[in-house]
Amino acid sequence: MKTKLHLLFGGKSAEHKVSMQTAKAVMNAVDQSIYEVHPIYIDQEGSWNKGPVLEGKVDDVHALAFQGEKNTVSPLAISERAVKGKELDSAQVNEVVFPLLHGPNGEDGTVQGLLEILGLPYVGNGVLASSAGMDKIAMKAIFEQAGLTQVKYVGFIRKDWEEQAERVMSKIETDIGYPCFVKPANLGSSVGISKCKNQEQLKEAVKEALRYDRKIIVEEGVNAREIEIGVIGNDELECSVVGEIVPKTEFYDYQSKYEDEDTGLIIPCELPNEIYEQIKDIAKRAYKSLDCSGLARMDFFLTKDNEILINEVNTMPGFTPYSMFPLLWKHSGLEYPALINKLVELAIEKHQEKLKISYTMD
């Protein structure tokens, strides 16, 4: 009997297009002899639309935008079992949800909370890790508590900027200086990110970032190599080889990630074994500090003095043809279809672990 695999993609997010590309790549890699694939497209207004069971390859990503009354479903109708309110027990785990959503309303713990309530096994991180990993300010606070070394940063909200912009700019210039990077706190894929070399650029960058979030983070710019590593697992963790990003632009922006085919990705990159082992150790510590499960991509800066600075975690990294995460695992000996299988296995393992928890006093 095939395992039902419900793929959630699209989403009400500025990263909608990235999610669509991720979904296409996963659909073309998944082993259809093992899985019965059910695509569920969430449009940019937040409506859920269920498409036909996948058969064959997907050539055009636009064909995945299932819309119309006949396709629209309630989020509660992901599966018949969810509708009936019957949680999957350990012997009946024959369906798994794979949220291929990036950014708010999908990667930030919202969908994960829904799936928890429905009692469905799902790939990837839970509510806490997803929400903390999405919010860069919360993430950095947790990393700081765990004793992990990071770049300097300042966080603030829209109201702070509207009422005390001069004070906020003064703090940024005093604590961080230039160059610095301005980012929406709750977004990924380099959307809304700007590099600033002076106050005028800083003002414009904050204006741009506030288009996407009410919460902004400003980070110190450092002269360092950009190193990334993949982690998979629940309680027992495995790390991939490390990769290095060598963008042709001034920094690794949205276009470099998803539109330019000539951005340099060196996999595996050249590192002393001692540094590689340190990065693996820090990646695992960061993963556990957020209570991650399933998968994550950990991003680092490596300075000329070999100081390792953790930059951030991505709890649902991209799976597009140019994405680092699947490429890291491919070079670690885990091909794309096998990687999907492993993530589904981890989802089932996590679900079975939850079934050991008692919710009554009897």
Q: Which pTM was predicted?
A: 0.89
For residue 274, say whether it is annotated as part of any ligand binding site: no
pLDDT 10s digit of each residue in the chain, 362 long? Answer: 899 999 999 999 888 999 999 999 999 999 999 999 999 999 999 999 999 999 999 999 999 998 777 788 888 878 766 555 455 555 567 899 999 999 888 999 999 999 999 999 999 999 999 999 999 999 999 999 999 999 999 999 999 999 999 999 999 999 999 999 999 998 765 778 999 999 999 999 999 999 999 999 999 999 999 999 999 999 999 999 999 999 776 654 545 544 555 568 999 999 999 999 999 999 999 999 999 999 999 999 999 999 999 999 999 998 887 899 999 999 999 999 999 999 999 999 999 999 888 888 77
- Is 189 catalytic? The answer is yes
Q: Which residue has the tokens 């350990």?
A: 90
Residue in the block written with tokens 């980012």: 183
Q: Is 240 annotated as a binding residue?
A: no
Helix, coil or strand: residue 18: helix
Catalytic member of 15, 95, 228, 244: 15
- Write down the catalytic residue from 189, 240, 256, 289: 189
Query: For the domain with range 224-331, which CATH number is right: 3.30.70.100, 2.70.98.90, 3.40.50.720, 3.30.470.20?
Result: 3.30.470.20
Selecting among 19, 79, 130, 323, the annotated active-site residue is 323
Could you please state the CATH topology (level 3) that the domain comprising 3-122 is classified under. Rossmann fold (3.40.50)
Please check if 225 is assigned to a binding site.
yes
Handedness of CA 340, 344, 346, 347 (dihedral sign): positive
Structure tokens at 233: 């697992």
Q: Is 15 among the catalytic positions? A: yes
Given the structure tokens 């009400």, which residue do they identify? 12
181 in a labelled binding site: yes
Find, among 68, 173, 74, 54, the residue nearest to 118 by Cα.
74
Cα(287)–Cα(357) distance, integer angstroms: 23
The answer to whether the beta carbons of residues 244 and 227 sit under 8 Å apart is yes
CATH tag, 152-220: 3.30.1490.20
Single out the residue of 224, 215, 220 nearest to residue 192, CA to CA: 215
Stated length of the chain: 362
Listed by start position, the domains of the chain span 3-122, 152-220, 224-331
Distance separating alpha carbons of residues 271 and 224, to the nearest angstrom: 13
Distance CA 106, CA 84 (A): 24
Would the annotation count 221 as a binding residue? yes
Question: Looking up tokens 């709890």, which residue turns up?
Answer: 315
